[in-house]
Structure 1
Amino acid sequence: MINLNEKMSTIKPFIFGGLASLTAEFGTFPLDTTKTRLQVQGQHKDVMCFNSKYRGMTHALLRISQEEGVSALYKGIAPALLRQASYGTLKIGLYHYLKRLMVERPQDETIYTNVVAGVISGAVSSSIANPTDLLKVRMQSGTDQSYSQRTSVVRFFKQIYSEEGIRGLYRGVGPTAQRAAVVAGVLLPSYDYFKKAILDYGLMADNISTHFCASFLAGIIGTAASNPIDVIKSRMMNQTVLRQAAHLYSGSIDCFVTTLRTEGARALYKGFFPAYFRIGPWNIIFFITYEKLKDLF
């Protein structure tokens, strides 16, 4: 018979991961909106996204607020929170569960085991949550006003499903899963590594300062590894069969090649600073919240 404490130790990462993800998502969502707008602009195949309206993160924040209102920075917040309730919960819970499957004791963990656990948990959880991620991107991009004028997430789902089918809800699932696998496979092990290093070298105690530094450093590495995939993901999700510019890209590889050919390699790092200023604070809020929940319960 499984001990109750063992059951709770398995369940807690799922619960704490979900709660911490929701907290971090709401606190940094405007930065995610600016990142998405910067990533989808400049596409030569799409007349609606060809012009580069925004010169950078600050300019995008100000212009979106002035032209569309501050509320526009939170377009897509409902599916984003829904996504984190599913994706964030599964990602962290699976990560810790898989680590314990591979090694029984935390002190026996290695970079290899943690990377494997992160890659699998990121890919599986993001694939399940893909429809909510797609809704978030469509609402944030502002290129299809019919989506952003509705208020019900359920109506969004129904609209996309009726006009694009089940494949429409899973548009971009390939790059989404790839990105999540890279992010989770790099970011989660990086945080564990930096936290352990700080504690092992006696630089700081196991407190909020350690959690802040470890998550800050992990955020830099995670952003650098994931940004090219994130650009492809945003562009794949933003295309829709309803517009004249439908089927901009036949797949993620075509999107990658076309972006390189028409805009150059720098385009793969469009939105890098907003992405970091999104991932960095997101991770700091997430890990500090997660660690606090662990201490409290």
Structure 2
Amino acid sequence: MAAAEAKPLPFIYQYPLDVVKTRIQLQTGKGLGDEGYNGMLDCFRKIIRNEGAKTLYRGINAPILMEAPKRATKFAANDAWSKFYRNLFGVTKMDQKLSVLSGASAGATESFVVVPFELVKIRLQDRAQAGKYNGMVDCFQKIVRQEGILALYNGLEATIARHVTWNAGYFGCIFQVREQLPAAANKSQQIRNDIISGTIGGTVGTILNTPFDVVKSRIQNSPRIAGSIPKYNWVLPAVGTVLREEGFAALYKGFLPKVLRLGPGGGILLVVYTGIIDFFRTMRGEA
């Protein structure tokens, strides 16, 4: 089984939440002023009023293009890691520990596909950076030309931390919650169990990984300038900087729009994934 940080089908409806999340995460310091965002609804209101509703979809091309390779890598990697760990530990069935381990490993693998798309998305979503780039392709070209091709992997360390913790929390909760729920006697009960366990898993995963997501956004939004060291560069020092300058609560900036997207998204994804697996099993005559 594989996890994902967002369900692709309703992605176009969820994306404004991602824009709002990023804007709030990129706010530094405690004094926000009139231009600052005082929460999710205030951010929505100010973006629409000052920049227009279409801004809520700025940068959407990058994550749309990311969806297919991201899902394929996640599903394939999780299957491969599950088999690897079962063979390594000499067991035939997955348990909670192996589910967490294989999910975390799949998340780390997936990160290498995700980072360039995420970096371009962050740059386009930020109000200050967006004016520098005329769309996704122009953003990609300017980053490579001005900062070097390796700059596309800025934030890889933080992305790995974000995906590992989300997948570990998601898989661990799914396994545990499913064990506590009544066994499904029919398809509707299976869907119910998947929605409940996936939503709880997505929520717990979001609680675990939001601090890494905050610093990832800031690292990827820091252009590389020759001869200077960015304020937010590596994940643990960046976490320390946020704690020291803004306090613990700042590590959870953007949590509400993030969990509103990824909590239910985790449940929907699990339902869809289970349905796809059942479909192919029926086609192969395994059902």
Q: Do 1:33 and 1:74's aligned partners in 2 also have CA atoms closer than 8 Å?
A: yes
Please give the secondary structure, in 1, of the residue aligned with 2:154: coil
Give 1:138 shift.
Answer: 1.1
Distance in 2 between residues matched to 1:71 and 1:246, nearest whole Å:
34
Q: Which residue of 2 aligns with 1:235?
A: 218
* Partner of residue 51 from structure 2, selected from 63, 68, 72: 68
- Which ranges of structure 2 fall in alignment gaps of 5 or more residues? 281-287
CA RMSD of aligned residues (A): 3.1
Q: Do 1:119 and 1:182's aligned partners in 2 also have CA atoms closer than 8 Å?
A: yes
Give 1:293 shift.
Answer: 2.7
Deviates more, 1:137-146 or 1:263-272: 137-146
TM-superposition CA deviations, 1:10-43 (whole Å, max 9, x none): xxx78xx89x842253331111111111111124
Q: Which residue of 2 aligns with 1:7?
A: none
* Partner of residue 134 from structure 2, selected from 150, 153, 157: 150
Q: Does residue 121 in structure 1 map to residue 118 in structure 2? A: no
TM-superposition CA deviations, 1:84-121 (whole Å, max 9, x none): 22222211221133223333899821111111111111
Distance in 2 between residues matched to 1:125 and 1:281, nearest whole Å:
21
Distance in 2 between residues matched to 1:167 and 1:159, nearest whole Å:
13
Distance in 2 between residues matched to 1:292 and 1:204, nearest whole Å:
10
Q: Do 2:111 and 2:163's aligned partners in 1 also have CA atoms closer than 8 Å?
A: yes
Q: Which residue of 1 aligns with 2:159?
A: 176
TM-score with structure 1 setting the length? 0.82
* Partner of residue 35 from structure 1, selected from 8, 13, 21: 21
Give 1:265 shift.
Answer: 1.0
Letter in 2 for 1:135: V
Q: Which residue of 2 aligns with 1:112?
A: 97
Give 1:78 shift.
Answer: 1.0
Distance in 1 between residues matched to 2:27 and 2:130, nearest whole Å:
16
Distance in 2 between residues matched to 1:99 and 1:227, nearest whole Å:
26
Q: Do 1:28 and 1:282's aligned partners in 2 also have CA atoms closer than 8 Å?
A: no
* Partner of residue 245 from structure 2, selected from 247, 252, 262: 262
TM-score with structure 2 setting the length? 0.84
Distance 1:66 1:206, change over 3 A: same
Letter in 2 for 1:142: R
TM-superposition CA deviations, 1:219-239 (whole Å, max 9, x none): 221111111111111111111
Distance in 2 between residues matched to 1:281 and 1:64, nearest whole Å:
25
Deviates more, 1:194-203 or 1:130-139: 194-203
| Percent of residue pairs bearing the same amino acid type | 27
Q: Do 2:177 and 2:197's aligned partners in 1 also have CA atoms closer than 8 Å?
A: yes
